[in-house]
Amino acid sequence: MNLTSFTDASPRGIFLLHALEDLTANGSKNLCPQRISRKSGIKNYFEDADDLRLALAEVGFQELEERMRAATPPTLPFEERLYQACKAYLEMVMESPALLQLMFGLKEQAHTRAPEPIREAGDAAFSVLEHMMKDAIAQDFLKTNDSRSAALATWSFIHGFSFLMIRSGKTIDDHPEELFEMYQKLHRLLSKGLISAKPN
């Protein structure tokens, strides 16, 4: 797993890296900051397991934003940017299913209990898609002028596909060619729904 946002060399950052390993091995419900501290020999920086979950989710969304942004430079054609953004999302989900389940479980509470940092980090990741759609609309590439709706359609597509893979028990190492072939077929359907027909 290569999560660059978890490479902060500070003691807190190193603790979060150990916490990510614990999350992957034991699941969100079994996260225990005290156990992680004892095992790693690093001071515990979190009040309780809920505090640690929130920190992991926030850094997870930062990682997702970073990956999607890095995969979609404006110099690429729009269709390629769309493909690469969704692929970056899928790859992260398949590398760390437990982290993505934690992130979106907390994000869904955004209007009730989730703190501002989770909402902001999630919105920042989503904004990568929204800005990409705005660029496409400015160049008359899309069938719609509503950048948010286009971004939501894309987000919903890759989110749904990714979580179907998680629930099926698949990982990035389980027949990756078949997984990405399936993704490519579904992505072509998404593209047909979003992208305007090219003039002759």
CATH number at residue 160: 1.10.357.10
Please write the tens of the pLDDT for every residue from 70-122. 999 999 999 899 989 988 998 888 888 899 989 988 765 544 555 788 889 99
Asked whether residue 33 is domain-assigned, the answer is: no
- With respect to residue 68, please indicate whether it lies within any of the assigned structural domains: yes
Q: Report DSSP state, residue 158.
A: H
Q: What local confidence, expressed as pLDDT, does residue 138 receive? A: 93
Question: Number of folded domains in the chain?
Answer: 1
- 3 falls within a domain: no
Confidence (pTM): 0.83
| Structural domain includes residue 147 | yes
> Which tokens hold the place of 120?
């902001």
Is there a domain that residue 137 lies in?
A: yes
Asked if residues 128 and 72 have their Cβ atoms less than 8 Å apart, the reply is yes
Q: Can you give the residue range of the structural domain that contains 154?
A: 57-194
Q: Is residue 134 part of a domain?
A: yes
Q: Tell whether 19 is covered by a domain.
A: no
Q: Which residues contact 132 (CB under 8 A, 6 or more apart)?
A: 72, 78, 81, 82, 85, 151
> Is residue 118 within 8 Å of residue 58, measured between CB atoms?
yes
178 within domain boundaries = yes
User: In the prediction, which pLDDT does 186 show?
Assistant: 72
- pLDDT tens column, 13-63: 889 999 999 998 888 999 999 999 998 899 998 989 999 999 999 999 999
